[in-house]
């Protein structure tokens, strides 16, 4: 299987920046495309903060940090992705926007380029249908935060060729990820279970069943989870949780996927989690990707 030399990442928000960090750390030239210089700068700050944190904690040498940074190109034009072997989209969860993006990239990228979507809520089959190259579209859901989580859920559209699917699997393995294959259905495996569980925990908090600390302790010691629900939500970000919850709720029409009112209140207050310095817990300083 051909080794991926150059990856394009479209979107430099929490997920896009995280995926770009993963690809750069794997030694791959990484081209990150955002819609404006301002959004590019925001993405760069996320990436720089992550690597700076690694140096401070002794997990990364200054030389390694510079090597990782040297693999990045930050761009604002689709045409800058023309030489990428794989393009990963990590834009907002809107099917029409993702189809339109892939349609544009189809005119830019060579026929052999694989298009990957990081969605975990929208139909890969529907995205493939609007891409111009339906046999070369694959779903790869990187668990958040992507630089820290090993799991990637791999999903094929009805139209995805065996060759493209295996290339996507080889790409994930090149990144050092653990891959599981899952059906093209909203939520795949992880979020189909996780999102309603997280929402149930938030509702339990709203109902006064226990404090944040008590519920997290019960989950860790009673269920054997490595992190409490509220600890995890603070790492992921309340804004990301809201977006994924609403997307799954619109797809599945199950009330357990609808985010409880407390989520919206916390977002309005700016309590987004670790990245904001405050979420369900309070932190000494804002951190990137839970770092």
CATH number for the domain harbouring residue 38: 3.40.50.720
Q: How many separate domains does the chain show?
A: 2
One domain for residues 20 and 147:
yes
The answer to whether residue 13 is domain-embedded is yes
Give the residue from 160, 82, 112 showing the smallest Cα distance to 1.
Answer: 112
> Residues 254-277: pLDDT tens digits?
999 999 999 999 999 999 999 899
Question: How much of the chain exceeds pLDDT 90, in percent?
Answer: 94
One domain for residues 11 and 68:
yes
Q: Would you say residue 289 has pLDDT above 90?
A: no
One domain for residues 87 and 223:
no
Place 285 in a pLDDT band, splitting at 50, 70 and 90: confident
Place 286 in a pLDDT band, splitting at 50, 70 and 90: confident
Active site residue 191: yes
Exactly one of 117, 191, 199, 247 is catalytic; name it. Answer: 191
Mean pLDDT over 246-257 rounds to 95
The answer to whether residue 211 is domain-embedded is yes
One domain for residues 110 and 216:
no
The answer to whether residue 1 is domain-embedded is no
Give the residue from 245, 233, 288, 274 showing the smallest Cα distance to 21.
Answer: 288
> What are the angstrom distances between the C-alpha of 219 and each of 96, 159, 222?
38, 40, 5
* pLDDT at residue number 2: 75
236/214: higher pLDDT = 214
Active site residue 94: no
One domain for residues 177 and 244:
no
Active site residue 241: no
Exactly one of 34, 89, 93, 153 is catalytic; name it. Answer: 153
The answer to whether residue 169 is domain-embedded is yes
* pLDDT at residue number 33: 98
Active site residue 153: yes
- The parent domain of residue 199 ranges over 192-276
Q: Around Cβ 57, how many Cβ atoms within 10 Å?
A: 9
d(CA 104, CA 231): 39
One domain for residues 135 and 225:
no
């Amino acid at each position: 299987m051909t080794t991926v030399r150059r990856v394009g990442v479209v979107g430099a928000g929490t997920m896009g920046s995280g995926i770009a960090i993963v690809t750069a750390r794997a030694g791959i030239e990484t081209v990150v495309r955002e819609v404006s210089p301002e959004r590019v700068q925001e993405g760069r700050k996320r990436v720089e903060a992550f690597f700076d944190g690694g140096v401070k904690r002794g997990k990364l040498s200054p030389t390694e940090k510079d090597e990782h940074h040297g693999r990045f190109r930050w761009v604002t034009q689709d045409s800058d992705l023309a030489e990428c072997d794989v393009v990963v989209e990590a834009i907002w969860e809107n099917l029409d926007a993702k189809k339109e993006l892939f349609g544009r990239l189809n005119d830019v990228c060579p026929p052999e380029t694989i298009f990957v979507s990081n969605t975990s809520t929208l139909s890969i089959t529907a995205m493939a249908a609007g891409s111009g190259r339906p046999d070369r579209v694959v779903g790869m859901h990187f668990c958040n935060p992507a630089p820290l989580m090993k799991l990637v859920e791999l999903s094929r559209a009805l139209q995805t060729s065996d060759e493209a699917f295996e290339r996507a699997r080889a790409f994930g393995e090149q990144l050092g990820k653990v891959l599981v294959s899952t059906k093209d259905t909203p939520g795949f495996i992880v979020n189909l279970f996780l999102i309603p569980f997280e929402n149930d925990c938030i509702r339990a908090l709203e109902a006064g069943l226990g404090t944040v600390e008590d519920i997290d302790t019960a989950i860790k010691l009673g269920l054997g989870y490595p992190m409490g629900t509220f600890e995890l939500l603070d790492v992921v970000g309340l804004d990301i949780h809201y977006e994924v919850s609403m997307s799954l709720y619109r797809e599945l029409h199950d009330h357990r996927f609808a985010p409880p009112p407390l989520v919206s209140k916390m977002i309005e207050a700016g309590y987004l989690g670790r990245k904001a310095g405050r979420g369900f817990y309070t932190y000494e300083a804002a951190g990137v990707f839970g770092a």
